[in-house]
Amino acid sequence: MIKENESKPLSHNEVLKEADPILAGELASTLLNPEADRFSNDDGQFLKFHGIYQQDDRDLRKTGKKFMFMIRGRIASGILTADQYRVYDDLATQYANNTLRLTSRQSIQFHGVVKSGLGPLMKSINDALMTTLAACGDVNRNVMAPPTPVTESWMEEVHADSQCLSDALLPTTPSYNAIWVEGVQLNLTDHQGHDDPLYGKTYLPRKFKTAFAVPPLNDVDLFTNCLGFIAIEEEGKLVGYNLTAGGGLGMSHNNPNTYPRKADVIGFLKRDQVEAVAKAVLTVHRDFGDRTDRKHARLKYVLEEKGVAWFRRELESRLGFALEDPRPYRFERQGDRFGWHQQADGRSFLGLFVETGRIKDTDEIRLKSALRKVVDTYDTQVRLTPSQNVILVNILPEQVEGIDQILKEHGVSTTHEKSPIRSATMACPALPTCGLALAESERYLPGLIDRVEGLLQSRGMDREEIIVRMTGCPNGCARPYMAELGFVGRAPRKYNVYVGGNESGTRLNRVYLESVKDEDMESVLGGMLDRFKEGRQEGERFGDWSARVLWEEIKEG
C-alpha cells in the first residue's frame, strides 16, 4: 500500500519494531543482571509494550539519576475482584512507594519500583492471572466502559463486550510470558519472522485507545478515544452501538501540526459486529498512520486529513458490509456519583472520591488501609472510574453499617463532603516521575483548588461545579482539553489556561491565556469568576459561558 509519507525516513521506534517484532530486546538478560540499574534507551521502548515505563526521580537529578519504573495494569472496564485488588495492594506495599495511582483509563499504576523489584512484581501480577501486556506501547490500550453499577440488565452486556474486545485486541508476542513469567531471554533469530495476525510485524504507528459509553452518561470521555462504541438501547434491549473514530488529545506546544481532536460518529453496527469493526478500524490506523513522525502518528490525523467519508469507505471495504446510519442518542453529563446509592438488584454501591487519583495513607485520611480492610472483611468488588475515583459495588444491606464504620475509623467520609469543584477535578502524575512533565500537576492541583474554593466562597459561589483538569505537559493524559477549565503545563510554575468544555464531554475547549504564572493565578481566575457571575445566563455553567463569551475574545485576539 503506497502512502504519501513513504519517501520520508521511518522514525527510530519503527526501525526498532521492525528489527525485533517480538518486542524482546535484551530485557530478560538485563533483568537478570544485578549490576544494571536500568535498561538501554532502545529497550525502554520495548518495555512500554509490556506495560512498563523506565523513569527517574526528577526531584533527585541534582545528585544523579535514580532510575525507577512505573508499571501499569491492564484492567478491562476498571473492574477488579476482591482477590485482584488485594494483589495490587500488596504489590504497592512490597515493591512500589506504598501507593496505588488510579489512571484516567480505569487502571492502576505502581510508581517508584526499583529494578530489583520489577521482576517479582511482574511475575506476581501474572501469577494472579492478570496482565500488564499492552497497557502501554503502540497497540490498543486498556478498554474503558462505564463503572457505575447497572440500572438495567442489558448494561452488563456492555461490560461483556468490553472484556471480549480487550482480549481480542491483545498482541500475540511470545516475549511477554517468556521474560516476566519464565525469566528467559528469547533468541531473536528463532522469532525473526513473527508476524502478529492483527498488528503485523511493526504494530501500530502510535497508541490506540478504545471505550464504550452508555448514554446519557459520558463518564469515559468517549470522544477522546481513537475508537468508541455508544450503546444504543431500544425497548429495554442493547441492539448495537454507534461507532466513533478519530479522537485524541495529545499535542505539542508550538507545533501546529499537532492538536486535540474530537472523534466523529461514523455509523451504527450490531452487537455481533463489534470485534470485526474494531479490528478493521485498528488496521486502518496500522496501514495509514504516519510512521515517520510520532507526534503526527495517531488515528485522529488520518481522519482529519482524509475525511470521514473516506474513512467510512475504507472501513466498509475491509469489513465486507456497510454500516447503518447512526441512531439517535444524547449525552447529558460526565463524572462520578459519590456516597451511597442503590443498585437495580437491591444491593448498594459506594462512590469514594480519590484526590488526584492517589490511593495512599496520610495522617488525616488512611484511604489505602481503609479500602484494604473493607475488601478483606466483605470481599468487595472494586471498580475504578475514568475520573480516577473508586466505587465499591454489590454491597449487601447488612454490610453497609460495617463499611461505614471501617471508613470512618480511617478518616474516610462516605457522605462526600468535598466541594463540587474539587469533586470534578483530575490531574496527571507529572513530576517527579514523568519524564515528559514541564510543570507540576498532581502535587500542585489540590493547593490550587484550595485557592479557587476561596475565590468561589468570597463570591457566594461555593456550590458551583466547574470541571477542572490539569496536566504537566501538553500530552493531555488527564484530558484537560475537554474540561470547562483546563491547565496545561508550559514550564515550571507556568500553565496555559483553557476554557469552554461542557458538562456532557462533547466539546473541546480552547486556549484562553498562555504561560500564566502561579503567582498570577488568583488574579486571573478571580477576574474570570467575577465576569462569569455578572454575565452568566440563568443556570449557565462556567464552560458554556466561556464558550459564549471568552471564545469571542479569543477570535478577536
- Amino acid letter at 448? L
Residues 367-370: contacts with CB under 8 Å, at least 24 apart: 367/410, 367/412, 368/89, 368/92, 368/98, 368/99, 368/100, 369/410, 370/406, 370/407, 370/409, 370/410, 370/411, 370/412
Q: Which of 48, 72, 115, 479 is catalytic?
A: 72
CA atoms within 13 A on the CB side of 548: 12
Q: Show the cell assigned to 47.
A: 518495555
Higher pLDDT, 539 or 4: 539
> Which of 141, 262, 298, 372 is labelled catalytic?
141
Task: Kindly indicate the confidence band of residue 190, based on its pLDDT and cuts at 50, 70 and 90.
Answer: confident
- Look at the chain and count its residues: 557
In the prediction, which pLDDT does 5 show? 54
* pLDDT for position 249: 98
Q: Which of 105, 207, 372, 469 is catalytic?
A: 207
Start-to-end Cα distance in the chain: 44
* Residues 6+ away with beta carbon under 8 Å from 272: none
For residue 80, pLDDT beyond 90: yes
Please name which of 241, 244, 284 lies closest in space to residue 265, comparing C-alpha atoms.
Answer: 244
Of 31, 17, 26, the closest CA to residue 180 belongs to 31
226 part of the active site: no
Q: Report the run of H or E that residue 68 belongs to, with start and end.
A: strand 67-72
Set 74, 358, 434, 510: catalytic member:
434
Does the N-terminal peptide bond of residue 197 adopt cis geometry, omega within 30 degrees of 0?
no
Of residues 192 and 219, which shows the higher confidence score? 219
The class (CATH top level) of 4-51+133-319 is alpha beta
Do the first three CATH levels of 4-51+133-319 and 421-556 match, i.e. the same topology? yes
Q: Structural domain boundaries of the chain? A: 4-51+133-319, 359-417, 421-556
pLDDT band at 422 (very low <50, low <70, confident <90, very high): very high
Spatial CA neighbour of 300 closest among 229, 227, 386: 227
H/E/C letters for each residue in 328-394?
A: CCCCCECCCCCEEEECCCCCEEEEECCHHHEECECCCCEHHHHHHHHHHHHCCEEEECCCCCEEEEE
- Do residues 232 and 268 touch, judged by C-beta distance below 8 A? yes
Asked if residues 467 and 424 have their Cβ atoms less than 8 Å apart, the reply is yes
- Active-site residue 136, yes or no? no
Across the chain, mean pLDDT equals 96
pLDDT of 455 higher than 90:
yes
| C-alpha cell, 141 | 490500550
Give me the residue label for grid cell 462533547: 506
Q: With DSSP H G I counted as helix, E B as strand and the rest as coil, what are the percentages for the chain, rounded to 5? A: 40, 20, 40
Active-site choice (74, 279, 469, 473): 473
The pLDDT value given to residue 344: 86
**477 belongs to the catalytic site:** yes
Cβ 37 vs Cβ 416: under 8 Å: no
Is 209 annotated in the active site? yes
Active site residue 17: no
For residue 71, which of 28, 117, 11 has the smallest C-alpha distance? 117
pLDDT digits (tens, 9 = 90+) for 434-454: 999 999 999 999 999 999 999
Instruction: State the CB neighbour count (10 A cutoff) for residue 307.
Output: 12
Q: Catalytic pick from 48, 206, 477, 510? A: 477
Q: Quick one: what percent of the chain has pLDDT higher than 90?
A: 93
- Does the pLDDT of residue 557 top 80, yes or no? no
Rounded Cα distance, 67 and 65, in Å: 6
- Cα–Cα distance list, 504 to 231, 261, 266, 386, 541 (Å): 16, 16, 19, 14, 12
Rounded Cα distance, 553 and 557, in Å: 6
Cα–Cα dist 480/475, whole Å: 9
Calculate the CA 454 to chain-centre distance. 30
Distance between CA 525 and CA 297 in Å, rounded? 35
Question: What's residue 538's pLDDT?
Answer: 97
Cell of 8: 520520508
pLDDT in tens, 238-279: 999 999 999 999 999 999 999 999 999 999 999 999 999 999
User: Among 261, 279, 428, 479, which one carries the catalytic annotation?
Assistant: 428
For residues 340 and 392, give the distance between their C-alpha atoms in angstroms, rounded to a whole number.
10
At residue 33, the pLDDT reads: 95
**Longest Cα pair distance anywhere in the chain, in angstroms?**
71
Condensed to tens digits (0 to 9), the pLDDT of residues 468-527 reads 999 999 999 999 999 999 999 999 999 999 999 999 999 999 999 999 999 999 999 999
Stated pTM of the model:
0.96
* Chain position carrying cell 470521514: 308
User: Which CATH architecture does the domain made up of 421-556 adopt?
Assistant: 2-Layer Sandwich (3.30)
Q: Is 279 a catalytic residue?
A: no
**Does the structure show a pLDDT above 50 at 208?**
yes
Closest CA to 445 of 483, 416, 482, 471: 471
Using an 8 Å Cβ cutoff, are 501 and 524 in contact?
no
Task: Give tens-digit pLDDT for 136-164.
Answer: 999 999 999 999 987 778 889 999 999 99
Query: What per-residue confidence (pLDDT) applies to 556?
Result: 74
30-61 residue pLDDT tens: 999 999 999 999 999 999 999 999 999 999 99
Of the residues 209, 279, 286, 469, only one is catalytic, namely 209
What grid cell was written down for 64? Answer: 544523579
Q: Residue 470 pairs with which residues in a beta bridge? A: 427, 487
Q: What is the band of 1 on the pLDDT scale with cuts at 50, 70, 90?
A: very low
- Nearest alpha carbon to residue 395 among 325, 346, 468, 335: 346
Among 386, 488, 496, which Cα is nearest to 437's?
A: 488
359-378 tens-digit pLDDT: 999 999 999 999 999 999 99
